[in-house]
Amino acid sequence: MVDAQRWRRYLRFWGSNADADVDEEIRFHMEEETEELVARGMSHAAARDEALRRFGNVNHFRRECRSADERRLGRERRTENLSVLVQDLRYALRSLRHNPLFAGIAILTLALGIGANTAIFSVVNGVLLKPLPYREPDRLVTLWETMKTADQITINYWNWMDWRQRQRGFEDITIWNPFGAFTMTGNGAAERVRNALVAGNYFQLLGVRPALGRLIEPGDDSPSAPRVVVLTYGFFQSRFAGDASLIGRSITLDEIPHTVIGVLPPAVRVLNRDAIVPLGPEVAANPPRFARGNHSFFGIGRLKPDVTLDRALADLQRVSAELSVEYPRENTGIGSNGQPIMDTLVGRIKPALRVLMIAVGFVLLIACANVANLVLSRSASRQREFALRTALGAARGRLVRQLLTESLVLSIAGGALGVGIALAGVQLLIALDPGSVPRLTDITVDRTVLLFAVGVSLLTGVLFGLGPALQSGNSAPVNALKEGGRGAGAGVARQRTRAVLTVAEVAMAVVLLAGAGLLLRSFAKLTSVDPGFEPANVLTARVTFGGGTKYQNNEQRQAAFDALLARVRAIPGVTHATVGADLPLESNQQSGVTFEAIPVVDATKRPMLGVVVVDPAYFETLRIPLVSGRHLAASDRPGQPRVILISESAAKKFFPKGDVLGQRMNQGDGSDPSRWFTIVGVVKDTRTNGLTQQPRGTVYMARAQEEFRTGWLMVRSSVPTEQLTASLRSALAEVDPNVPLALVSTMDAALAEYVAEPRFSMLLVTIFAGVALLLASVGIYGVISYNVTQRSNEIGVRMALGAQRSDVVGLVVGQAMTMSAAGVAIGVVLALWGSKMLSSMLFGVGPRDPLVLGSVAAFLILVALAAALAPALRAARIDPTVAIRAG
Amino acid sequence: MTNDLLQGTLDVLVLKALSWGARHGHGVARLIHQTTDGDFEILDGSLYAALHRLEERGWVDSEWGLSDKGKRARFYSLTKRGRQQLRLETATWQRYVTSVSKLLTAATVPV
């Protein structure tokens, strides 16, 4: 009994025990009360009963006392914790203030890592994670038609009508075409307005609400409905200054008045269009353009809630099969397919974003390793401080907590600065906009991004802080004090940790540099691709002599183009001018063709060739050489036999014996006798489908022998192209003041657009790799340099025993080489293993390109050598007498 | 009487009992029983509950010490805030008693 009490008192010394206290208190009360009653003459038993009676229900009151105590103690503990935190924080801030260089470098390093991650995450968030501005976007599916020779073709209007009637997997299907343009007149100078045609159910299906007025509805689709137009927010703001009174008023598009019925919200952009019109009236005005067999629309379906994508697509394919049977002439071999709308929008950019996210993740890891290195070397010099505090009674947990607090202060400061870097970085990213990143305007540093930054900061702090903190808490105080602050005991373990961290840094830097090297090399290959024509000094602009009443027939349009070309060629400085239906890198029109001399085996696998209608001067202007035969000539007029030129690779493919000249080709299946052409010449290939795709084979038709209402004016000049724009405009105005000169650009700029996206990824990964390299070399330098300081005594002894200075340099450099060689080896293995991820972004270089990997490895070894050289020379200058005496 | 009122009254009595100096729980009970001449039937247990409750609120402090007979006992004393609370409660109580007795002893119908 006495022992138990003494034990409890001993325990109480370490902290109060609420339960035992209450019990002891009540027992004391009972004893006192009983004694008092006995003193008044009661028997002991009676007195005890009376005391109990007066006390009431013991268990009940004991419970009340205990719970009150527990609440009080809990609060006290929380207050104490908070005050410890405040104390730790104050201490951390003081100790960092005393060491501003350390704090500055650590915070800056972390800020770089966290900032880069936050910036890239804001892109990922904006592009991939933010929901689309539509109702239940997860159920939206993009749809298209397929052919045996093409995975993806646009949809025919009448096929769509039948889809809507017969399919069962989608709530509804809509179609749209974003490639039209109107000439807007009546508001100052004639202006080109990019339009999209949409079906009446388009906005209902997407679930979009107007910012102003109303949007296009099914009723607007009827052929007799009045002409209406909806403006996109950007166009409404930039062209009409956001004037709300425009709603209900009329604007003139292609000489037809259209009533402005509404404006789209800012978040909803229909590609880069300005104006949206219902397609019903367009179809009614020009039925042949939309006849079965002509494909011109993109499709979007909304899945029924309980139907899977696969089932809905299979059902749609069933409808397509029915249509192939019902309309064999137009629909043989035509199928249908689709994918979630998000995949269509961002599918292409996803691999690049994934690579960027991994790259910045590596940068952050390297930053962590570096700061951990710094903290470790700092904690080595603070060893005596910790030992002293431990000896004076600080618990190990308290020390660990203290060090962790310091790390978190660093990482949060780094995070705050990092958000600043991210804000600037996002501006930079938007400025670098390759034009191919979808939804780029959705990228902002918003709450999600800030939460991400806070999370990354905290994680970072724990990541680089916990290891060093635990290690410092571990060291035995006696040793540390005895070693006089040199810390050789715990120092060995610490040194090993630092070496491992450095090896990891080098390995990650190798991976990043390898990625950057591959992208750089691929970019170099891409920019050195010969497009097949000379883009320098060529100005391009789009001209349409089309809509309205002025141009009734092809002759009038052709005459307008003739007049325009004559005036342009007369401009001083212009050496050549031509028009063509497409620019060379983006020939859109493809056609199934039949060669008279080649028998048709399978009607569904007819050869496909690009078809470009051009003015004869096209080849001279773009400097595309003639291989054999003759050029198109002014004499190839209507009424004369139709002639074409064919590109070299197509000529070789279809006529390997070289007998191509004079061959006859039909555009189509041979059934239309008016579409027979004679091949009169062969020209060199040009890239027709971007820079990376092999030329797919093209035939060039003479403008004078074809319908020609819209095309690209291409002008080669001997003066800088910028000076030409005004002269071109006035030349066009002389021909027709109501026709705008649209999309004025240079061929060089058009070419640059094709390399913009690879340039974007290459630039970013290179920047990240540069940061990684910098951090890794700082890491190597830090470790080697610290090691030299630690071993100066030993080096002194060696030198006193006869070691040469060159031996000392060799010793130190050798250590650096061992670490970096290990890092490079691991890095190369990692790079080989992960390189597949890059393959979709590479052009003309394999993901395991030995040249890139070899030079990266050699480069890093060189950098490590350079980083180790300064400390090595310092070691060589050590004066043995001084070093040994100091030890 | 409602529980709240009963508890409130108990709290004031306990605070008052401690106003003459630190006392252990049994001492508080003895004092309250003596001064109220047994007019209230107060269970000793509820006094302890009140003491712990008051300590939780920060109005009293406790400390282990030795009783006059040399036994270990828990002594309670008023904190500064406890003293303020006692003054406040006393004033409120007196105002209440005055107004109730004014009404009860009124000779005429108040206008």
Mean pLDDT by 10 residues, chain A (887 residues): 51 61 90 91 91 90 90 86 84 84 85 88 82 88 85 88 94 89 78 88 93 92 90 90 91 90 85 87 83 86 94 95 90 90 80 83 86 79 75 76 86 91 85 66 79 87 78 59 49 76 87 86 82 87 76 85 91 91 76 82 75 90 91 87 91 88 86 87 84 81 87 88 84 85 82 77 83 82 79 83 86 87 92 82 82 89 86 83 70
Q: Are A283 and A223 in contact (CB under 8 A)?
A: yes
Cβ contact (<8 Å) for A25 and B43? no
Q: Are A498 and A373 in contact (CB under 8 A)?
A: yes
At residue A517, the pLDDT reads 87
Long-range pairs of B34-43 with CB within 8 A, sequence gap ≥ 24? B42/B10, B42/B13, B43/A54, B43/A55, B43/A56, B43/A61
- Quote the domain boundaries for residue B85: 3-104
CA gap A472, A380 in Å, rounded: 8
Q: Which residues of A touch B71 (CB under 8 A)?
A: 28, 31
Q: Is the same domain home to A648 and A724?
A: yes
Q: Which of A222, A196, A348, A367 is nearest to A280 (CA)?
A: A222
- Quote the domain boundaries for residue A16: 2-93
Is A106 a member of any domain?
A: no
CA gap A755, A764 in Å, rounded: 14
Q: Is the same domain home to A781 and A849?
A: yes
At residue A488, the pLDDT reads 47
Is A141 a member of any domain?
A: no
At residue A547, the pLDDT reads 60
Per-residue pLDDT tens digits for B52-89: 999 999 999 998 888 888 888 999 999 999 999 999 98
Is B80 a member of any domain?
A: yes
How many Cβ atoms sit within 10 Å of the Cβ of residue A263? Answer: 24
Is B91 a member of any domain?
A: yes
Q: Is the same domain home to A745 and A831?
A: no
How many Cβ atoms sit within 10 Å of the Cβ of residue A831? Answer: 25
Q: Is the same domain home to A553 and A648?
A: yes
Is A580 a member of any domain?
A: yes
Is B109 a member of any domain?
A: no
Paired residues of A335 in beta bridges:
A146
Q: Is the same domain home to A364 and A221?
A: no
Is A99 a member of any domain?
A: no
Is B22 a member of any domain?
A: yes
Cβ contact (<8 Å) for B53 and A68? yes
Cβ contact (<8 Å) for B56 and A57? no
Is A136 a member of any domain?
A: no
At residue A2, the pLDDT reads 46
Enter the ipTM.
0.88
* Beta strand A643-647 pairing with A676-683: parallel
Of A29, A58, A60, the CB nearest to B25: A29
Is A856 a member of any domain?
A: yes
Cβ contact (<8 Å) for A24 and B56? no
Q: Using alpha carbons only, how large is chain A's radius of gyration in Å?
A: 40
Q: Is the same domain home to A613 and A718?
A: yes
Cβ contact (<8 Å) for A64 and B73? no
Q: Which residues of A touch B72 (CB under 8 A)?
A: 24, 28
Is B100 a member of any domain?
A: yes
Q: What is the tally of structural domains in chain B?
A: 1
Q: Which of A497, A562, A440, A412 is nearest to A96 (CA)?
A: A412
Rounded to 5°, angle at Cα A23 from A79 and A57 = 110
A15 interfacial to chain B (CB closer than 8 Å):
no
Q: Is the same domain home to A588 and A693?
A: yes
Q: Is the same domain home to A356 and A502?
A: yes
Cβ contact (<8 Å) for B56 and A55? no
Cα dihedral value A841, A844, A845, A846, nearest 10: 80
Q: Is the same domain home to A317 and A390?
A: no
Is B34 a member of any domain?
A: yes
Q: Are A575 and A645 in contact (CB under 8 A)?
A: no
Is B111 a member of any domain?
A: no
Q: Are A292 and A328 in contact (CB under 8 A)?
A: no
CA gap B41, B47 in Å, rounded: 12
Of A24, A32, A56, the CB nearest to B45: A56
CATH number of the structural domain spanning residue B75: 1.10.10.10
Q: Which residues of B touch A28 (CB under 8 A)?
A: 24-26, 67, 71-74
Is A481 a member of any domain?
A: yes
DSSP assignment letter at A514: H
Q: Which residues of B touch A71 (CB under 8 A)?
A: 56
Q: Are A665 and A679 in contact (CB under 8 A)?
A: yes
Q: Is the same domain home to A667 and A747?
A: yes
Q: What is the tally of structural domains in chain A?
A: 4
The amino acid at residue A466 is L
Report residue B3's pLDDT band, with 50, 70 and 90 as the boundaries.
Answer: very low
pTM for the complete prediction? 0.68
Q: Is the same domain home to A776 and A715?
A: no
CB under 8 Å to A225, separation ≥6 — which residues? A219, A278, A280, A281
Q: Is the same domain home to A455 and A588?
A: no
At residue B76, the pLDDT reads 94
Closest residue in chain A to residue B72, using alpha carbons only: A28
Cβ contact (<8 Å) for A24 and B25? no
Is A513 a member of any domain?
A: yes
Mutation to test the B interface, candidates A5, A16, A31, A32, most B Cβ within 10 Å: A32
CA gap A776, A780 in Å, rounded: 6
Is B19 a member of any domain?
A: yes
DSSP assignment letter at A468: H
CA gap A514, A508 in Å, rounded: 10
Q: Which residues of A touch B52 (CB under 8 A)?
A: 22, 64-65, 68-69
